[in-house]
């Protein structure tokens, strides 16, 4: 088994000073990718950010589920996309305005926005009165839609 030092000495070193150098990558499927070092660096950065966002999305889902466990008066809730951003849509069990509920939802929004572990996550929260699924569809993206199911009896 190669040590870290041995692996590093066998690594292909590409330096930013050679940013216009052309590299060719051949994966197992025999396709060829031809790109400049500068583009490879950009793509690696994007992959790293995407991985980080994916991990943060899992943390976000846990936070939303935890909030829902303590929230009263929720009929259903969805994580979806609205206008190109994540949106947490909460459907109230009744129509009456509830200061405590709205404050709690605002606190959740503020907490997520200021959480350093969720720095890539931008989310809006919205509370809606009870409505038919057809009416709710204008607030929900069918391509990206996670519904939170209550296990309360």
pLDDT of residue 4: 64
Please state, in angstroms and rounded to a whole number, the distance separating the CA atoms of residues 89 and 123: 10
Q: Are 148 and 65 in contact (CB under 8 A)?
A: yes
Q: pLDDT tens, 12-71?
A: 788 888 888 888 888 888 788 888 888 888 888 888 888 999 999 999 999 999 999 999
153 falls in which pLDDT band (50, 70, 90)? very low
Once rounded to an integer, what is the mean pLDDT over residues 112-137? 92
H/E element, 90: strand 85-92
Please state, in angstroms and rounded to a whole number, the distance separating the CA atoms of residues 46 and 145: 24
Q: What is the mean pLDDT of the chain?
A: 87
Among 81, 97, 75, 89, residue whose Cα is nearest residue 125: 89
Please state, in angstroms and rounded to a whole number, the distance separating the CA atoms of residues 93 and 73: 5
- pLDDT at residue 8 greater than cutoff 70: no
109 falls in which pLDDT band (50, 70, 90)? very high
What is the SS3 assignment for 130?
A: coil
pLDDT of residue 66: 94
- Read off the pTM: 0.74
Percent pLDDT > 90 in the chain is: 52
Q: Are 103 and 62 in contact (CB under 8 A)?
A: no
As assigned by CATH, the class of the 60-148 domain is alpha beta
Higher pLDDT, 97 or 2: 97
Among 153, 140, 151, residue whose Cα is nearest residue 65: 151
Domain boundaries, the chain: 60-148
């Amino acid at each position: 088994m190669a040590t870290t030092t041995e692996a590093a000495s066998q690594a292909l070193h590409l330096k930013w000073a050679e940013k216009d150098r052309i590299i060719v990558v051949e994966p197992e499927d025999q396709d060829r990718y031809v790109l400049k070092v500068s583009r490879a660096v950009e793509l690696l950065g994007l992959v790293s950010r995407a991985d980080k966002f994916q991990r943060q999305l899992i943390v976000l889902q846990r936070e939303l589920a935890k909030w829902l466990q303590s929230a009263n008066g929720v009929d259903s809730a969805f994580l979806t996309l609205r206008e190109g951003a994540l949106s947490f849509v909460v459907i109230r069990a009744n129509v009456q305005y509830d200061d405590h509920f709205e404050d709690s939802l605002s606190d959740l929004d503020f907490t997520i926005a200021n959480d350093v572990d969720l720095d890539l996550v931008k989310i809006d929260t919205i509370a809606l009165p009870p409505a038919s699924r057809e009416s709710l569809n204008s607030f929900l993206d069918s391509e990206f839609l996670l519904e939170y199911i209550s296990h309360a009896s």
